[in-house]
Amino acid sequence: QCIKFRTMYSESEKRGTVTSASDNRITPIGRFLRKYKLDEIPQLWNVLVGNMSIVGPRPDVPGYVDLLKGNDRRMLELYPGITGPATLRFRFEEELLAQVNNPQRYNDEVIFPEKVRLNLEYLEHWSFWKDIAYIIATVLPGFTKLIGLDRKLGLVSEPLS
């Protein structure tokens, strides 16, 4: 059981599981926490107690893990993480979803499959040094871009169809 800050009003999940930047289910304090990524602080506790790793796929909202079929289920072999290739590739996911007509559909048809692909690639090509690079990319995104590490890790945001 992972702990986290509540950044949305109670029972918000009844109105959908995909969140865009303009989502009115986010509390004012939650908006601040999300903007500055302060909502990630409890994840450090989750790492310390062994419920999460620093690098790995983000825990998904209930229901999405049930959509994994066949080889895609291998992703579940990984401990959930604070950061990783899919987290970094979709660092601004809420803003991206705010720009599309149907955020739920875009998430289901474009973002979620791409996250699965990135997480499987991470599983199949894991290395200690890549984990270090993902941590650097998380903590120092400007530096990562400056030295081209974002391109080497495949984190450059290309438009998705």
How does pLDDT run across 73-127, given as a tens digit for each residue? 999 899 999 999 999 999 888 889 989 999 989 999 999 999 999 999 999 999 9
Global pTM reads 0.81
**Cα distances (Å, whole numbers) of residue 87 to 9, 15, 60, 70, 114:** 24, 24, 11, 23, 11
Main-chain dihedrals φ then ψ at residue 46, nearest 5 degrees: -60, -35
